[in-house]
Amino acid sequence: MTSPLRGRTVLETGTVGDDRRPALIAAALQSLARDHRNIVGVPVVPFPGGAGIHDPSGSFIWLDEQPERLLGAAIALHLRKATSRLDIVVPDIHRELAPAVARRATQWNIPIEVFSLDGKSLTTVDPQPAAAERDCEFDIDQFRSVISEAGAEVVIEHGVLTGEVAGLEVCRVVFEDEWRLRVGVGSQDREAFQMLHGDAPSLDSLVRVVEFVQTYRRSTADPHPLNRLSPERWMRSTYTSADSRELPSCTQMSGVLPRGSMSDASPAFAVTQRDGVTRLLAFTTGTDLGAVVDAADHAEWSAHQDEVSEIVVVVDGRNRLPVLDAIAERSVKPMRIVSQSELASL
């Protein structure tokens, strides 16, 4: 369906500076809400990454950054304002992500409709299933043995092979005329390491990096940039590597979407099985409302060998917030929020 705007103000995405964008989003959102839901005279309320109009008849929310994850914040605002429905607008610059947002919207017991801004019209977006995980395009065995021998954990996600120490990436296989194992924490560190050491033997170089990183990826280590990166994956690694208690069968999994940078918030996933019950664990730190929608989407992913019976979102104790429980209660698939200490009793 389309809803013409009859010549009113519409944001032409990608053509204005950041300083003007919030004002133009607000003007466009007011026009859209008026024409689409007959919501008039209600102020636009900005929030990090988007803006919304909240009327008892419904919330009308524009997701301007990472809409597939910002859906979590939109759901939280809808519940907080106690509106009757939730309409999501995905701007042109995120058109390719709109089907993923629509898919994720179906995973909640909330009346949600997702629209793409198409020129001066809103177009209803149909959900599309998540793509299957890609395989590596190279022979992994030669790299796997080097990473393991150096003391790092071999991790394969969406066709990318890396080595990790307590959840922190310390090497990656990249294509440079041919597939090579490059050492370093992140792309810039890999480039700097290569400039300093050239094509030094990967094993020797990686052993030194692993030993250095291990010094700081410990709970007793002094504050350091290396223990502030990828905290979610560190939390998962702590759980899966614990040997002081009996763990259920546990398998680490990649996210539905490929990872961004190591500084981006993104839950780390694992699947446990005990007594015929399959649970999806989503480890997250901070107050990441996107983690709950990531987890709900993951539970429906075709990569699961068995149907997920329950989603468990694991947070650190300081971020065991009521808003997360309120969102979890609306999940189609059973979901609960637990702290790290509570996880031990599952």
**Three-state SS at 163:** strand
- The residue among 304, 309, 291, 298 whose CA lies nearest residue 233 is 291
Give the pLDDT score at 87. Answer: 96
Between CA 153 and CA 165 the distance in angstroms is 6
> CA-CA distance, 118 to 3, in Å (whole number)?
10
Burial 263-290 (b: 16+ CB within 10 A, else e): eebbbbbbbbeeeeebbbbbbbbeebbb
- Would you say the C-alpha torsion 310, 313, 314, 319 has a positive or negative sign? negative
Name the amino acid, one letter, at 151. Answer: G
240-282 per-position pLDDT tens digit: 887 545 667 789 999 999 887 777 789 999 999 888 889 999 9
Tens-place pLDDT, residues 133-156: 999 999 999 899 999 999 999 999
Specify the pLDDT at position 200: 64
Residue 234, judged by CB atoms within 10 A of its CB (0-12, 13-18, 19+), counts as: buried
92-125 burial by CB neighbour count: b if 16+ within 10 A, else e?
eebeebbbbbbbbbebbebebbbbbbeebbbbeb
What's the confidence (pLDDT) of residue 187? 79
> Minimal CA–CA distance to 74: which of 97, 94, 95, 104?
104
Q: How far apart are CA 343 and CA 346, in angstroms?
A: 6
Query: Which residues have CB under 8 Å from 270's CB, separation 6+?
Result: 236, 239, 240, 250, 251, 252, 253, 280, 281, 283
For residue 172, with 0-12 CB atoms within 10 Å meaning exposed, 13-18 middle and 19 or more buried, which class applies?
buried
Q: What pLDDT, on a 0 to 100 scale, did the predictor assign at position 4? A: 35
| Structure-token pair, residue 241 | 């590597």
Per-residue confidence in pLDDT tens, the chain, 346 aa: 443 333 333 444 444 456 788 899 999 999 999 998 899 999 999 999 999 999 999 999 999 999 999 999 999 999 999 999 999 999 999 999 999 999 999 999 999 999 999 877 899 999 999 999 999 999 999 899 999 999 999 999 999 999 999 999 999 999 988 999 999 998 788 888 777 766 666 788 899 999 999 999 998 999 999 999 999 999 999 998 875 456 677 899 999 998 877 777 899 999 998 888 899 999 999 889 999 999 999 999 988 988 999 999 999 888 888 999 999 999 999 999 999 888 877 7
Q: What is the DSSP letter of 130?
A: P
pLDDT of residue 243: 59
- Phi, psi for 296 (deg, rounded to 5): -60, -40
Residue 9: predicted pLDDT: 38
CA 315 to chain centre: 14
Strand-pair category, 335-339 with 310-315: parallel
Q: Whole-prediction pTM value?
A: 0.89
